[in-house]
Structures are given as C-alpha cells and as structure tokens.
Amino acid sequence: MEGIAAEQADSGKVADPTTESGTMERESRELLTIEEVARYLKVPPLTVRWLRQEGRFAPAIKVGRRLLWDRRDVNAWLDGQRETEAA
C-alpha cells in the first residue's frame, strides 16, 4: 500500500475516497500547482494568480500554505470560457 501512495504522490495524483453519491470508491484525482496550471493553459503564473484573486478562476484547494487545483475543475472552468459567437 505504501508503494501506491508513493507513486501517487510522485505523479501529483491522490486517491479520493468519496464520489458524488458519497460512496467510498477509490478515484484518482490529479492536483496541479500554479506553475502546472499556467503551463497547461499556456499563460504566465501571474495570470492564474490574477484570475484567482478576481474570483474568475476555478476554485483552489489549500493544502497548508500551498494552492492546488484539481485538473477536472480547471477543465470545467476552461469549458465555460468558450466564446458563443465569433468576435
């Protein structure tokens, strides 16, 4: 069991023991640092910080003094940014 936890810690993924229905299923959750989010979105980390401070970005997960984002939340936010009409 320790080997799996170590692998998940190295890959940025952690086990989420609950699902939407509240059952205890193991689900892999990929958590991203601000630098990883910025790289994924192809923007500077300062842009991610600014969007977060303005309340215009996906919710972060605070772990100690560190902010992390669930990749699913970032993807959901990104989907919501799509333009409906061409400018």
Model confidence pLDDT, tens digit, residues 67-87: 999 999 999 999 999 998 876
Dist CA 38 CA 35 (whole Å) = 5
Model confidence pLDDT, tens digit, residues 10-55: 556 655 555 555 554 546 899 999 999 999 999 999 999 999 999 9
Q: Which residues of 44-70 are buried (b: 16+ CB within 10 A; e: fewer)?
A: eeeebeebbeeeebbebeeeeeebbbb
86: left (phi over 0), alpha (psi -120 to 50) or beta: beta
Dist CA 49 CA 36 (whole Å) = 13
* Residue 5 confidence (pLDDT) above 70: no
Q: Which domains, from first to last, does the chain contain?
A: 2-80 (1.10.10)
